[in-house]
């Protein structure tokens, strides 16, 4: 049962990602990315990361990708023609690069020494592993400093986004 859920979620996540990069229409691309992210959230929940899985659905699929949709609608890209590269030379070389990277990562995973006592650890894991309370406790004690820094990062990002997206007024005295 466990392995069936894993395979369904993994196949949907990978298929959604592949469809995302193959789409011409950015709106369809965003929707495929949402499908892929929901399947990834399923994998997170299967790994007992319930809180983080819920965050993935709410923050990523819910907020960030809606922001993408807003920007796509604002830009009005209808009729935009993208330069395309030569199918066999450029595209083939790029796809080969990505496939080689994947095989490199697989070799790395195969060579990794996995600890032997992993199964013991799994049995010991507490029932509320990955729940809101234990994660929040870590966040507010051991990782308090990085957590506070995150708020500064978000503030800077807000200010930066507002300044950059603002319409520039024509300079006084010119034209």
Partner 1 sequence: MVPMPHYLIVSALLFSIGIAGVILSRNLIIMFMSIELMLNAANLAIITFSRFLNLMDGHVFVFLVMAVAAAEAAVGLAMIMTIFRNRGSIDADKFNLMKW
Locate 64 and state its tokens.
């960030």
Q: How far is the CB of 29 from partner 1 (least distance, A)?
A: 6
Q: What is the dihedral of CA 88, 82, 65, 135, to 10 degrees?
A: 40
Q: How far is the CB of 88 from partner 1 (least distance, A)?
A: 14
CA 57 from chain centre, in angstroms, equals: 11
- Complex with partner 1: residue 124 or 171, whichever CB lies closer: 124
Q: How far is the CB of 171 from partner 1 (least distance, A)?
A: 16
Q: How far is the CB of 169 from partner 1 (least distance, A)?
A: 13
CA distance linking residue 37 with residue 45, whole number of Å: 12
- Complex with partner 1: residue 89 or 109, whichever CB lies closer: 109
- Complex with partner 1: residue 89 or 162, whichever CB lies closer: 162
- Complex with partner 1: residue 121 or 175, whichever CB lies closer: 121
Q: Which class for 42: exposed (0-12), middle (13-18), buried (19 or more C-beta within 10 A)?
A: buried
């Amino acid at each position: 049962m466990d392995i069936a859920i894993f395979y369904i979620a993994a196949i949907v996540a990978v298929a959604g990602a592949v469809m995302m990069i193959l789409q011409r229409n950015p709106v369809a691309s965003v929707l495929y990315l949402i499908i892929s992210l929901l399947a990834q959230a399923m994998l997170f929940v299967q790994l007992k990361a319930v809180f983080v899985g819920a965050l993935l659905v709410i923050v990523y699929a819910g907020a960030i990708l809606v922001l993408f949709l807003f920007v796509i609608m604002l830009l009005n890209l209808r009729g935009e023609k993208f330069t395309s590269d030569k199918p066999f030379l450029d595209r083939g070389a790029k796809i080969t690069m990505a496939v080689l990277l994947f095989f490199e990562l697989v070799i790395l995973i195969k060579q990794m020494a996995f600890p032997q006592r992993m199964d013991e650890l799994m049995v010991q894991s507490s029932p509320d592993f990955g729940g809101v309370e234990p994660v929040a406790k870590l966040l507010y004690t051991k990782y308090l400093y990085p957590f506070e820094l995150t708020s500064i990062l978000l503030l800077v990002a807000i200010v930066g986004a507002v300044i950059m997206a603002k319409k520039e007024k024509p300079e006084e005295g010119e034209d």
